[in-house]
Amino acid sequence: MTTSQLVWTIVKILVMVGFVLNWAGILTWADRRQSAMIQHRIGPNRAVIKVFGKEIRLFGLLHTAADGIKFFTKEDFMPPRADALLFMLAPIIAMGAVFALLCAIPFGDTICPSRLPTHWSEFFAGPAVPRWGICSADARSGAHPVDLTIAPLDVGILYIFAIAGQGIIGAAIAGWSSDNKFSLMGALRAASQMVSYEVTLGMSLVGALMIYGTVRLDEMVRWQSEHAWGIFVQPLAFFLFFTASVAENKRIPFDLPEAESELCSGYFTEYAGMKFGMFYFAEYAEIVTGSMLLVTIFLGGWALPFLHRDGLTISFGGHEVAHVLVSHMWMILLGVVTFFAKVIVVCAVQTFVRWTLPRFRYDQLMKLGWKILLPASLANVFVTGVLYLLLDTAGAGVAEGLKTAADLSGVLVWGVIGYLILSATIGLLKPIVHKQTLLGSSAEQARRRGGTKAEPMQA
């Protein structure tokens, strides 16, 4: 490995790990703030910093910092009869598996060193790259192309599933080693739930792999950039993957391993201090990494419709309407920003799901996984295979129609993006008005229904 490659690797690690660490912390604040808005409460407002007598609250963001300090200062408790080695390893495995996933997730297109600006005048009008082809090394400096993936693996999605499965081990040994029956029950729930939904998680991607023809995540994004996003070619698989991903993260409505009303806190009941903090933080980091996978496989990754490696190309059914060359550097930066913006939106959707749906019963959770989602994923594989064979033998007219449909899906995507931006802008500028609806007292409602029958009290 050359010095340049080592520096790029360190930069990519800092970008991915830094984003997950920061956004996972923000999600803890979003859970509190958004739940308060939904439930008509004030929300986090106690943690303050006093500067010249003025209290600064930062919309409750200081609560996240206070939690971090609290985790480091709490007593590191261990049950007397716990298995010390496994008790300490469990949070490390749970958190380590999440961050190990990041090395195979691409957050941008390949950087071609020969197309980067070499003079300040080229920063706004630098050279573009060809839309197709492979970047070559720079003949002047000898610099090699840089994949914006920490470790661009040929096995791609297979590595993701191999590492994601290790999270089961962390939850299982945490409950078993705690010498607590409630923790053990939570560990059994976690293991059975995660194994069950991992089957659906994997089967939902088989149809997508058939369409993309590759297991490399970056090649999946390039296919979507040239054709249509995965949500349009595999709509059922998208919803199956999203549901199974939420269940894998053990979030409401699938938080049965941590059900406070039943198990005190689940498999990490006996954990305190930073060990508990690692479990707590790993859950939010799982939301971010799961959102990254969903964006990469079904939502185009770093790509946007009509924006390709060489710039903007608007075409319908193979007929080019407009083509604008854009500097390679700006296309790379736009792709990186696009990827992380999509991840933030998907994380926000998962937060809405958490504070909207009630918790399932455990039998309902297992029934949903084995009797509904898994058969649906198998049916999706069968239908995808049949349609793939039929379309492969169809004529040029069908291929032209599919190309036009793919271009129209791009128009739809831009319409949705515009609607979301407009709605968010209006929502931020619109003043908040709290309206209360008084339904009446129980006595008044009883009177409207004819009153209540008064009977003499019995001794």
Q: Could you state, in order of their start, the residue ranges of all structural domains in the chain?
A: 3-117+126-427
**What pairs with residue 111 in β-bridges?**
146
Lowest mean pLDDT segment, chosen from 5-14, 43-52, 83-92? 43-52
DSSP-derived letter for residue 438 is -
Read off the pLDDT of residues 262-300 as tens digits, 9 standing for 90 and up.
656 677 788 888 888 888 888 888 899 999 999 999 998
The Cα 427–Cα 429 span in angstroms is 6
Distance of CA 237 to the CA centre of its chain: 16
Q: Which of 7, 12, 187, 156 is nearest to 86 (CA)?
A: 187
- Strands (DSSP E) found in 118-223: none
Q: In angstroms, rounded to a whole number, what is the distance separating the alpha carbons of residues 277 and 292?
A: 23
Q: HSE, CB side, 13 Å, CA atoms: give it for residue 457.
A: 1
Task: Name the average pLDDT for the chain.
Answer: 84
CA distance 279 to 112: 40
pLDDT at 283: 85
Residue bearing tokens 């391993």: 257
CB-hemisphere CA count at 13 Å for 32?
A: 16
pLDDT at 457 over 60: no
The sign of the CA dihedral 56, 60, 65, 70 is: positive
Give CA–CA dist 162/169, Å, rounded: 12
Angle between helices 181-203 and 157-164 (to 10 degrees): 170
Once rounded to an integer, what is the mean pLDDT over residues 325-336? 87
Q: How confident is the model at residue 342 (pLDDT cuts 50, 70, 90)?
A: very high
Give the pLDDT confidence of 85-131 residue by residue, as tens digits.
888 888 888 888 888 888 889 998 888 876 666 665 556 666 677 77
> Per residue in 347-395, pLDDT tens?
989 888 888 888 888 888 888 889 999 999 999 999 999 998 888 887 7
Q: Angle 181-203/166-177 helices, nearest 10 degrees?
A: 170
DSSP result, 114-167: GGS--SGGGTTT-----SSS-----TTT-PPPB-SSSS--SSTHHHHHHHHTHH
